[in-house]
Amino acid sequence: MHKRKYTGLGLRWREEKWEDEDEENAQLLLEALRVLDRLKNIACPFLEGLYITRPRTMKQFLCTPSICRLLILEWLFARLYPSFGVSFATVPGSGAKGKITEMTRIGHELLLFGPDDQDLIKGSTGVKVQLYFFN
């Protein structure tokens, strides 16, 4: 273990920074819990049988690129924009890349985000931005 010496204002600044980071992380974990609760309340079929108890795992589940996350977004888009399912049927090669491209196009048309926000759909942006998007 490496010891560090902190004195005076430097220590206080670092402690406040760590406290701010801890507080923000706690808020993000709480927001992830709220998002999952909302998804359960609207009967998201991809959460059926899912048992996650740790807030950190909930945040990772929602904000890390995965096929499950993509399926949840696809389901949400279909609820918001019913003809979305039809448009997916006509997308050539409707693998993950095709779905992401189509969701980005439709999301932009619905004014949910910008035309180049594929990283948001993929789950490659910051946690705060992703949780805000899920809301």
Task: Report if residue 113 sits inside a domain.
Answer: yes
Is 89 exposed, middle or buried, given 0-12, 13-18 or 19+ CB atoms closer than 10 A? exposed
Task: Report if residue 60 sits inside a domain.
Answer: yes
Contact 85, 59 (CB under 8 A): no
Q: Structurally, how many domains does the chain consist of?
A: 1
Task: Report if residue 3 sits inside a domain.
Answer: no
Is 91 exposed, middle or buried, given 0-12, 13-18 or 19+ CB atoms closer than 10 A? middle
* Residues 48-58 pLDDT 10s: 888 888 888 88
Is 35 exposed, middle or buried, given 0-12, 13-18 or 19+ CB atoms closer than 10 A? buried
Task: Report if residue 68 sits inside a domain.
Answer: yes
Q: What is the pTM of this model?
A: 0.76
- Residue 52 belongs to what domain range? 9-134
Task: Report if residue 4 sits inside a domain.
Answer: no
- Provide the pLDDT for residue 37: 93
1 Cα distance to chain centroid: 35
Task: Report if residue 18 sits inside a domain.
Answer: yes
Question: Out of 22-26, 35-39, 58-62, which region has the weakest mean confidence (pLDDT)?
Answer: 22-26
